[in-house]
Amino acid sequence: MIATIHQPDFMPWLGLFNKIAKADLWIVLDHVENNPRDAAFWCRRVRVLANGLPTWMSIPLRKPDKPGVVGVPINQMRVERTLVRNMRKCRDTVSQAYAKSPHYREISPLVDEFFEREDDCLLTCNMTFIEGVMRLLGIRTTIVYSSSLAPQGASNDLLVDLLQKVGARRYLCGNGADGYQIDSFFTSKALEVARNNFTHPTYQQGTLRTFVPGLSVIDAIAWAGVDCASSWVLM
C-alpha cells in the first residue's frame, strides 16, 4: 500500500492533490503543534493571482489562550471569524481575482462555503474544502487522521510510526522533505521511499504572458477547468 502524509493546508496547490491521488491512503497530520501566529504557516496561507501578481492570502487564527504558549495542535486551532473584515477581504480577494476567469463557477461554491461557514475549527474548514476539491477532481484516496493513530515520536520517527500503523509499504513524499527526511531510516524499517516529482502544468492565466506556478488549486480550476485539473492530478 502507498501512503502519503501531509498537513491539512489552506486551499492548497495542485501538487498536493497530485500527491494525494497517487497514494492509496493519505494520513492527515492533524495532531502536530504549530504556531498559529506564524505568517509562513501553510495551513493558514496560500498564494492566488490578484491583479496579475502572485499574492499571499492569509486567514486569521485565534491566539493561544494561555500566556507563553506558542504551539497549538492543528486540530485545536480556531479560525478567528470575529475578524469579519479580514475574512471578507480574503473572500473578496479570491472573487475579484477570478471573477472573469472562464471556469471560476466550478470552484466558487467551495470557496463561498469556506468563508460563509460558522464552524471555526481550522481542521474542519480546510478539510471540507480539500475533500470537496478531491470529489471534483475524482480523487478517491482514503483519508486517515494522525490523531486517530495514537502517534508516537517526532520527525522521522513519527512518520515511520504512522506508516507502520496503517500497514504502508511505500511512502510517497514531496521534495520538501529533503531538508529533514533520512531515507535510510525508512528503508531500515522495510518502508520504500518514493518522491512525488510533480511537474506543474502550464495554462493561460488571463492575459499574463509568463505563467505563475504554485498557486492555490483555485487558480488551476478557475482558468483551466475541472476536467483539465483532474487530468493533471490523476496522470
Tens digit of each residue's pLDDT (9 = 90 or more) over 105-159: 999 999 999 998 888 999 999 999 999 999 999 999 999 999 999 999 999 999 9
For residue 63, the enclosing domain spans 2-233
80 close to 60: Cβ distance less than 8 angstroms: yes
User: Residue 186's CB: how many other CB atoms inside 10 A?
Assistant: 19
Residue 87 pLDDT more than 90? no
Tens digit of each residue's pLDDT (9 = 90 or more) over 10-57: 999 999 999 999 999 999 999 999 999 898 999 999 999 998 899 999
Measured distance CA(45)–CA(60) in Å, rounded: 9
Q: Read off the pTM.
A: 0.95
Q: Per the structure, how many domains does the chain have?
A: 1
DSSP 140: -
54 close to 212: Cβ distance less than 8 angstroms: yes
Residue 69 pLDDT more than 80? no
122 close to 114: Cβ distance less than 8 angstroms: no
Chain centroid, CA 66 distance in Å: 28
